[in-house]
Structure 1
């Protein structure tokens, strides 16, 4: 397969993966598409075979990151002094990538009915 075909196919795969990862989040989807387009424009003049192979490898890695390592949560309304809780939805590829020992089972009836609070070092903040 030609490099041109690999790059164009990779671009389309990344667009699809970003639509899946940022579904229902118009701002994140718009920023992902702008960043993706700009990265491809910045590298459109690359002709070195070795560098092109590295860029194609980066496309594959970025697709994997979008499909398997992006988790978005929506803040739920807090009652009184409760800590803020988030509702998190995993995509099918994320569920498939989980090992059996990673699945969580509720310890109590209360923890089974409440959403899981997840903290991450990577936080995307919207401009105010």
Structure 2
């Protein structure tokens, strides 16, 4: 789990199941982009299940719903974890989209910030396009 901003983390399915780390980081909201639930899923943070697929078959409305949930959590000042299976593509793209909207910044800059924080960042080009479209419409 990597800290992008004081209130935004990006991580993997394993990170989302690490209750002690979530607690230590003060995570209040989890945006789960996987179809599976972490084995030790926390019960205290608000979990928003927004399962989606990676790559070009990703549904635009599912992406937008996940990004809106992340933006709303950030606007409420909640420390938020956005996670997918590996924490490389879906979570990076949704977090970048939310960060761009929340901070009123360019989506490329938001991807750069997320990538600088998360070595595993490797968003699929189709999800980069989804993020850019979401930010453009926001």
TM-score, normalised to structure 2, is 0.24
The structure whose RCO (Cα within 8 Å, separation 6+) is larger is: 2
Higher helix share: 1
Structure whose alpha-carbon radius of gyration is higher: 1
Higher strand share: 2
